[in-house]
Amino acid sequence: MKKIAILGSTGSIGTQTLEIVRNNPDLQVVALAAGSNVGRMEEQIREFHPLVVCMWAEKAAADLRSRVSDMDVRILSGMEGLLEIAVFPQSQVLVTAIVGMIGIRPTIAAIEAGKDIALANKETLVTAGHIIMPLAEKHKVAILPVDSEHSAIFQALNVNGEGGGQSIEKILLTASGGPFRGRTRQQLRHIRPEDALKHPNWSMGRKVTIDSSTLVNKGLEVMEAKWLFGVDVDQIQVVVHPQSIIHSAVQFMDGAIIAQLGVPDMKLPIQYALFYPDRRPMGGKRVDLFELGQLTFEKPDMDTFRGLAFGYQAARTGGSMPTVYNAANEIAVKFFLNGVLPFLEITELIGEAMAQHRTIKEPTIEEILETEKLTHEYILKKKKIW
């Protein structure tokens, strides 16, 4: 019986992880954490019977305690609660499906406690990869990627018998292109949140869906791939693949390319991470090459979608610059979704925030979190939202 804890259990990745649990009776959920969705968390408690649960907001935790007073479960709140979930003694694997830099401290705590990490929290490696990866190596902890692209790369490397990146010539990181592929900047001037939330292939959370529409998600994934697979930024090539069937590929030094194909469904990479190195049967649709007919590929338009260009810039600069990139995007997306900010200003603000930042070469966790705070303050003042 493999026992797991999930940070972000009420979100897209969290709920799909629980679907995997439903279909595999040798998985047991022992701890859950979420933000403020009390109704969904109550449902999860009654179905999966975790021993301990954390809600980020204390008000939500108090509400939940009242709702599940008939259940044998401890309800925690805040960062202290997240840290307790992360190191919970009965768990073996921590699924980090929480969104944002809030996931860094719990991930570090889990690694130090010897937990394997099924990683869906991009921000952890984007901002603190220089801390996370050596720490995981020190504690002999596996970092198992859950993002479909990084899972595909991980699978390709394992097929080739490669634990690391010694024979990698190039990583081919695929992107669907999002809902606005092929449009000009002029055509993007009046994009509304409801337009940007209509992804052509994937069903994801709101923040990640907006990131896909700006290609900022690919900038974040370039940085994540750098740390996960030990390659230089210039070895990572983003390829627009509108069908989202090839989830990514690795080109080796002899010219061979190994790719992972599948339908656009996050359950496969989640299940692969939970049972690695084994594969389990899984229901659902299969790729039918005859029905598909063809696969197409394009270069990304980094003049229109400047978020990707800024992502490469932040990755090459390193240090604290990826934190600025991530933090600026995080708050800009929030204001776009709230109707305060035009679509194109998301990436314009990222560029402006990066331009004014003085990079810290090897930031500590405290310096990373302070950089995030200062970046948020810079944007709030600039846009006169305060």
pLDDT tens for residues 36-49? 999 999 999 999 99
Indicate the pLDDT class of residue 246, thresholds 50, 70 and 90: very high
User: What's the CA gap between 326 and 216, in Å, rounded?
Assistant: 9
| CATH number of the structural domain 2-145 | 3.40.50.720
Kindly tell me if the per-residue pLDDT of 326 is higher than 90.
yes
Q: For residues 50 and 381, which has the higher predicted lDDT (pLDDT)?
A: 50
User: What's the CA gap between 144 and 121, in Å, rounded?
Assistant: 11
The strand order across the sheet containing 93-96 reads 74-77, 52-55, 27-34, 2-7, 93-96, 116-119, 143-145
Does residue 222 contact residue 238 with C-beta atoms inside 8 Å?
A: yes
User: What's the CA gap between 220 and 217, in Å, rounded?
Assistant: 5
Q: Say what the pLDDT of residue 162 is.
A: 54
Average pLDDT, the chain: 95
Indicate the pLDDT class of residue 200, thresholds 50, 70 and 90: confident
Instruction: Identify the CA nearest to 82 among candidates 163, 5, 176, 27.
Output: 5
Please compute the mean of the pLDDT values over residues 261-278 and round it to a whole number. 95
For Cα atoms 342, 369, 6, give the angle at the middle one, nearest 5 degrees: 85
Separation of CA 365 from chain center: 19
Q: What is the per-residue pLDDT across 95-137, written as a single tens digit (0 to 9) for each?
A: 999 988 999 999 999 999 999 999 999 999 999 999 999 999 9
Tokens of 296: 């197409």
Does residue 41 contact residue 47 with C-beta atoms inside 8 Å?
A: no
Indicate the pLDDT class of residue 386, thresholds 50, 70 and 90: very low
Total Cβ atoms within 10 A of residue 59? 11
- The proportion of the chain whose per-residue pLDDT surpasses 90, expressed as a percent, equals 91
For the four alpha carbons of 217, 219, 221 and 227, in that order, the dihedral sign comes to negative
Instruction: Give, for 262, the enclosing helix (H) or strand (E).
Output: none
0.85 cut: is pTM over it?
A: yes
Domain borders along the chain are 2-145, 151-260+288-317
Please compute the mean of the pLDDT values over residues 138-145 and round it to a whole number. 98
Name the amino acid, one letter, at 221. E
Q: Say what the pLDDT of residue 164 is.
A: 52
- The DSSP string of 8-27 is STTSHHHHHHHHHHHT-TTE
Q: C-alpha dihedral over 310, 314, 317, 318, to 10 degrees?
A: -170
Total Cβ atoms within 10 A of residue 366? 8
Three-state DSSP state, 232: coil
Q: Say what the pLDDT of residue 160 is.
A: 62
User: What's the CA gap between 377 and 362, in Å, rounded?
Assistant: 22
Return the bridge partners of 89, or none. Answer: none
Does residue 347 contact residue 216 with C-beta atoms inside 8 Å?
A: yes
Q: Say what the pLDDT of residue 198 is.
A: 86
Q: Say what the pLDDT of residue 165 is.
A: 57
User: What's the CA gap between 114 and 81, in Å, rounded?
Assistant: 18
Q: What is the per-residue pLDDT across 51-110, written as a single tens digit (0 to 9) for each?
A: 999 999 999 999 999 999 999 999 999 999 999 999 999 999 999 999 889 999 999 999
